[in-house]
Structure 1
Amino acid sequence: MEDFESALGRSSPNPKFIPDGLSFDAIVKNETPVPCSLNDFMDYLVFVEHQAEDLQFYLWYINYIPRWKALSARQKALSPAWEPGKAIKGPKFRLIPQLNNQKRGEKLHKILAHLKETDVEEKPDEAETAWKCPPIKTSFSPDDDFARPGTPPPQKAVEPPKPDWFTVQPFRNEYCGVVKHYIVGTSPRALRLSDKDREWCLTAAPHTTHPSALLPAFLAVEENLRSNLHPAFIRWIRSNANPASMYFLRTLGVLAVMIGMGLDAMLILSRLSRFIRIACVVFWWPGFAVFIAACKSLCLLLHFRDVRELRPWEIFPGDKEAEGVKDVYSPSPQAVSASEKEAEAGVSFVGTHSRKNTGDSTVSEGGKGGNGSDPLRKPSMRTFGPKNDYTDTRWYHLYKKRSLWSKIMDQTTPVQNPTLRKMQDRTISFAVVWAGVLSTVLAVASVLAPEMKMLKM
């Protein structure tokens, strides 16, 4: 995969606030500890952003590239690369339009050139290429059966039977299943693609299983993940408390500042020494620090304890999300190779990333032999599966029934990622320093205020 990643490059550099230890590539390879693992990223996309299909398709594609490269030249010849200049059918005979912008167009041609280099140029047997692609429809629907969509025209009795061009293509059944799931606009896991990208993919997919057929969709997904979803995930994961706790802390910070203001007003109206007014800093500094940190979604107390609150879906173990769910949209098992069966079973990503950073949920509470929840086997981590919907899950309904106080006092767990801890340290330092500056300004202004001597104290 290293050569493909070098050809792919980066759509844009990481924002300055994201350290290298939490980069997109590190998370996708599952090299980052909890709570910044690949499994946590997927949970965020499912439960917060509602765009999990982007990462699901991305993981399938980067796993498909090395499997395609491992094919023999004879197998690759059955599915040639799809060129940008291939003609498509329509009201007018025209060429496939170029991608959305020049930068993406240049990246597409670069990757196409790389894929061509990996295809060994070896002349296949004539028996395998003696037929042409039969007329195949260029529209898909999630209910289509792609096991054998058509058969060759009847042959003369004296001629030997020829293999079905459509089904002998490598990974054809899996490929069509991916098109049904992610490219067809009415599919439960349909990607948010432009009309041009979707037109390219739907036109090319019936003719070849070469990775280039779905390359525009991959580039669109990769750009969205790197530029939008990954930075949003880092900002979100930096928080060590849930929204209910953040609202409570902001209110508490404002209340502390207001108490300090009231005490300062009383001291100004009194006959006491003006230097006593500096005591109001006891309320101002912590109040401002708590408020500023809460605006950055951090709790000072939890940070000093080096813990974070559990997310709502982490509080209730054994949820339906982690249990085996039938892949209602999986393709037909006929004519599927062993590797494709692994993909349908949800294990196609083994080798793409490690399992060491996905938590300890691979063993059930019942011990050995139980049906424990494996974070790399749940439906959201599988290529084929139902819609990414969590409204019928157990944790969702149980968490809604909890009281406000119980949500504020959620369970906690240690922060295991040192890089994330350093990010939080910088944010807390920023909050404490600015709280000190604001408190100092208020204290100086209070001391310089004239004595009113209206209250006897």
Structure 2
Amino acid sequence: FLIQFPIIDSILKGNTCQPISMREFKLYLQNKEHSAENLDFYYWYLDYSERFYNLPEHERACSQPPADKPSVASYALPLEALIKQPSIRSSRHSDETSTNVNTEKQSTEINEKDPRNQPFREEVNAALRTFFNYDSEKELNIDGYLRRYIVYYANRTTHPDVFAACHDKVYQIMEQSSLRSFLHHALQNIRYDGIVFRYSMGLFFLLAVILILTLTFVFHTVRWYRLLVFPCVFGCIFYILSGRAGMCFRRALRNKRQVPLYELDQEHMDDMKNQKRKTLDIESISDIKSIIDPHVLNYNKLLFMHTFSVAALTALSVTVMAVSLTNEPE
């Protein structure tokens, strides 16, 4: 069956609830996928663009958009030229014989071209160190030509268009990769040990089916004994599908979920940082929490109906075939 889940925009805008809310998505990126820098850059860019375009026009004019778009040709951009930027001090002493008026005029002209006078220059430099430095813990995983393009042009202008292509790339990664993996984990309401238990039970019932069929055929018993195959096949299929989906249906029908370890670890760290509290919220430290998002609630109901139907139909088909074969003594 298919169910339409919210797209990445709904999560990023905070329109979803537990267990697919913005909080859970951030914890997943931070503790499971280890790519929280994508989310940090995404929000920083949106905030930075809004603040930049709210500046007066004469301030925005100091930072013109880059002339080129990022491409493979960006590998040829001369990053070495960045260290040769003209400074006010060197220009001021370049011609000692010039008059004071000419010196002031030259300094003023260079001041207007100096990248240090561009709006949000310190913030852009900090963003370069944070997201595009090889030694940074929050370095973005992007193509080399795009990184070189951003480093080159961000040292010349603070216009948001410098980072636009990177913003689109980060959004694409979260939409096509991170979201899919996040939903896979967030929709499960049991952990790894619960999944192993369900696969083990599925194997147990499968062996029971084989044993029943073997004994009834070897000892030529009445074929109606093979009706015992039905509950065993049902249990086998039901537990295997349950394990594959990472779902405890008894818990799902109660709208509960077991918090994944990547969320629980963060909660324990938060509790340790807040030891001054005299009382703790039981719900906040419990590994069992309620499911609130209506899409997930609907998904759990449909998944139960789907699993139950498949298990019942498969068990009925196998049982009919087993009973129809006769090996009774004449």
Structures share fold, TM-score greater than 0.5: yes
Whole-Å separation in 1 of the counterparts to 2:241 and 2:207: 15
Query: Which residue number corresponds to residue 125 of structure 1?
Result: none
Describe the shift of the 1:217–1:18 C-alpha distance in structure 2 as closer, same or farther (beyond 3 A).
farther
Note if 1:256 corresponds to 2:205: yes
Q: What are the equivalent positions in structure 2 for 1:100-179 lying under 5 Å apart?
A: 136-137=82-83, 151-152=88-89, 153-154=91-92, 157-158=100-101, 159=104, 162=108, 163=111, 165-179=114-128
Whole-Å separation in 1 of the counterparts to 2:173 and 2:40: 13
267-276 vs 230-239, greater mean Cα deviation: 267-276
What is the identity, as a one-letter code, of the residue corresponding to 2:118?
Q
Whole-Å separation in 1 of the counterparts to 2:291 and 2:84: 50
What is the Cα deviation at residue 315 of structure 1?
Answer: 3.6
Describe the shift of the 1:312–1:96 C-alpha distance in structure 2 as closer, same or farther (beyond 3 A).
closer
Describe the shift of the 1:57–1:434 C-alpha distance in structure 2 as closer, same or farther (beyond 3 A).
same
Which residue of 308, 313, 322 corresponds with 1:446? 322
CA deviations over 1:311-358 (Å, ceiling 9, x no partner): 22444675446888xxxxxxxxxxxxxxxxxxxxxxxxxxxxxxxxxx
Note if 1:33 corresponds to 2:17: yes
Describe the shift of the 1:264–1:300 C-alpha distance in structure 2 as closer, same or farther (beyond 3 A).
farther
Whole-Å separation in 2 of the counterparts to 1:365 and 1:19: 41
Normalising by structure 2, we get a TM-score of: 0.81
Total equivalences in the alignment = 311
What is the identity, as a one-letter code, of the residue corresponding to 1:211?
P
Which residue of 236, 248, 253 corresponds with 1:299? 248
Whole-Å separation in 1 of the counterparts to 2:224 and 2:295: 43
CA deviations over 1:168-190 (Å, ceiling 9, x no partner): 32211111111111122332211
What is the identity, as a one-letter code, of the residue corresponding to 2:238?
A
What is the Cα deviation at residue 205 of structure 1?
Answer: 0.5
Whether the aligned pair in 2 keeps the contact of 1:181 and 1:189 (CA below 8 Å) is yes
Whether the aligned pair in 2 keeps the contact of 1:180 and 1:187 (CA below 8 Å) is yes
What is the Cα deviation at residue 305 of structure 1?
Answer: 2.5
Query: Which residue number corresponds to residue 437 of structure 1?
Result: 313
Determine which structure has the larger helix proportion and give its number: 2
What is the identity, as a one-letter code, of the residue corresponding to 2:228?
A
What is the Cα deviation at residue 425 of structure 1?
Answer: 2.6
Describe the shift of the 1:422–1:237 C-alpha distance in structure 2 as closer, same or farther (beyond 3 A).
same
Note if 1:412 corresponds to 2:288: yes
Structure 2 spans left out of the alignment, 5+ residues: 94-98
Which residue of 173, 179, 198 corresponds with 1:230? 179
Look up the SS of the partner of 2:257 in the other structure.
Answer: strand
Query: Which residue number corresponds to residue 106 of structure 1?
Result: none
CA RMSD of aligned residues (A): 3.6
What is the Cα deviation at residue 194 of structure 1?
Answer: 1.1
Whole-Å separation in 2 of the counterparts to 1:35 and 1:257: 33
Whether the aligned pair in 2 keeps the contact of 1:269 and 1:452 (CA below 8 Å) is no
CA deviations over 1:69-128 (Å, ceiling 9, x no partner): 211101101111112169xxxxxxx96479xxxxxxxxxxxxxxxxxxxxxxxxxxxxxx
Describe the shift of the 1:25–1:17 C-alpha distance in structure 2 as closer, same or farther (beyond 3 A).
farther
Note if 1:182 corresponds to 2:120: no
Which residue of 238, 241, 244 corresponds with 2:193? 244
What is the Cα deviation at residue 423 of structure 1?
Answer: 2.1
Look up the SS of the partner of 2:289 in the other structure.
Answer: strand
Whether the aligned pair in 1 keeps the contact of 2:42 and 2:171 (CA below 8 Å) is yes
What is the identity, as a one-letter code, of the residue corresponding to 2:4?
P
Q: What are the equivalent positions in structure 2 for 1:370-381 lying under 5 Å apart?
A: none
Whole-Å separation in 2 of the counterparts to 1:304 and 1:223: 34
Describe the shift of the 1:85–1:306 C-alpha distance in structure 2 as closer, same or farther (beyond 3 A).
closer
Describe the shift of the 1:314–1:283 C-alpha distance in structure 2 as closer, same or farther (beyond 3 A).
same
Note if 1:200 corresponds to 2:149: yes
Look up the SS of the partner of 1:223 in the other structure.
Answer: helix
The percentage of aligned residue pairs carrying the same residue is 18
Structure 1 spans left out of the alignment, 5+ residues: 1-15, 87-93, 99-134, 140-148, 325-360, 373-394, 396-409
Please identify the structure whose Cα radius of gyration is greater.
2
Q: What are the equivalent positions in structure 2 for 1:298-317 lying under 5 Å apart?
A: 298-315=247-264
Whole-Å separation in 2 of the counterparts to 1:273 and 1:287: 24
Describe the shift of the 1:277–1:264 C-alpha distance in structure 2 as closer, same or farther (beyond 3 A).
same
